[in-house]
Amino acid sequence: MIRRLKTGPASQRATRDPTLTSTVEGILSDVETRGDGAVRELSAKFDGLDRESYRLTQSEIDACVNSLTSRQRDDIEFAQAQVRNFAEAQRSCLQDLEIETLPGVVLGHRNIPISNVGCYVPGGRYPMLASAHMSVLTAKVAGCSRVITCAPPFEGRPAPLIVAAQALAGADEIYCLGGVQAIAAMAFGTETIDPVDMLAGPGNAYVAEAKRLLFGRVGIDLLAGPTEVLVIADDSADAELCATDLLGQAEHGVNSPAILLTTSATLAEATAREIERLLEALPTAPIAGKAWSEHGEIIICDTTEELVAEADRIACEHVQIMTREPDDFLERLSNYGSLFVGSRTTVAYGDKVIGTNHTLPTMGAARYTGGLWVGKFLKTCTYQKVLTDNASVKIGEYCSRLSMMEGFPGHAEQANVRIRRFTGREVGYAQPASFEDGPVTEDRGDSND
Q: Which H/E stretch holds residue 65? A: helix 58-66
Q: Count CB-CB contacts under 10 A for residue 126.
A: 13
Strands 3-6 and 296-300: antiparallel
How far apart are alpha carbons 278 and 266 in whole angstroms?
Answer: 18
Tell me how long the chain is: 449
Q: Which residues contact 225 (CB under 8 A, 6 or more apart)?
A: 12, 14, 205, 208, 362, 363
Which of the following is catalytic: 318, 331, 406, 413? 318
**Could you tell me how far CA 247 lies from the centroid of its own chain?**
24
Secondary structure tally for the chain: helices H, strands E? 17, 14
Which of the following is catalytic: 317, 426, 436, 442? 317
How far apart are alpha carbons 198 and 186 in whole angstroms?
Answer: 9
Give the residues across from 219 on adjacent strands: 198
The verdict on whether 318 is a catalytic residue reads yes
How far apart are alpha carbons 362 and 384 in whole angstroms?
Answer: 38
Q: SS3 of 304, please?
A: helix
Residue 271's Cβ-count burial label (10 Å; 0-12, 13-18, 19+) is: buried
Closest CA to 251 of 206, 298, 286, 204: 286
Give the residues across from 107 on adjacent strands: 99, 384
DSSP state of 443: -
- Sign (positive or negative) of CA dihedral 267, 269, 271, 277: negative
The verdict on whether 209 is a catalytic residue reads no
Closest CA to 158 of 61, 80, 66: 61
Instruction: With beta carbons less than 8 A apart as the criterion, state whether 124 and 20 touch.
Output: no
Catalytic center residues: 317-318
